Amino acid sequence: MRLSHVVLNAPDIDATRVWYETHLGFALSDTLAHPRMGQVMHFMRCNPQHHSMAIARGPHASLHHISFELRGLDEYMYGTGRLLRAGVRMIWGPGRHLAGDNTFSYFMDPHGNTVEYTTELEELDEDAWHPHVYDFSQPEVTDQWGTANPMNELVAKESFNDVDRGVFVAPPV
């Protein structure tokens, strides 16, 4: 139906978050943290949807994943099944995240980029919302339904991607 959100990898998620707040007017919705690793992801919004983008802690700046919104739960499950039947590699899912309350199925595209199917992303009352810090070592934080394989280092590493060298190279002057 539309592009739902984009998640970027960054070595310093706090500095990146402040940049998007200061220069582009994004607001923090929620944060994922781990008892041993500290903060690992900030969910950011520029409208009432829980997140239009997120910043994930990664070894270098790169794309983490891009997410596509489907029209509802049936279309989400049909689309997930269609990709599986076509032999597309599923990385994680299907499930439902706690932060954002959205469904997720993550797949790998032919070039190694992670793409997500999602639906039902939470709409916030921006005047009353207070950001939460969720402990993602708790299984229900990463998947409320308990239907997806557990979040682990292997699943996380699939979304680190290579260093983004950029697409545009300026011609010599």
Which domains occur in the chain, in start order? 2-124+133-157 (3.10.180.10)
Report the C-alpha gap between 161 and 12 in whole angstroms.
Answer: 16
pLDDT value for 48: 97
Structure tokens at 109: 């595209």
User: What values do phi and psi take at 84, rounded to 5?
Assistant: -65, -45
Of 110, 117, 130, the closest CA to residue 69 belongs to 117
**What is the reported pLDDT for 169?**
67
List the one residue out of 38, 146, 142 whose CA is nearest residue 99. 142
What is this structure's pTM? 0.91
Residue type, 47: N
Task: Say what the pLDDT of residue 105 is.
Answer: 97
* Reported confidence tier of residue 168, pLDDT bands at 50, 70, 90: low
3-class DSSP state for residue 38? strand
Residue 173 reports pLDDT greater than 80: no
pLDDT class for 47, splitting at 50, 70, 90?
A: very high
Q: Do 102 and 96 contact (CB within 8 A), yes or no?
A: yes
91 and 155 Cβ atoms separated by less than 8 Å = yes
Structure tokens at 95: 């499930």
Token digits of residue 153? 């280092």
Average pLDDT over the chain reads: 92
Q: Report helix, strand and coil shares of the chain as percent, to nearest 5.
A: 20, 35, 45
Given a contact cutoff of 8 angstroms between Cβ atoms, the answer to whether 157 and 112 are in contact is no
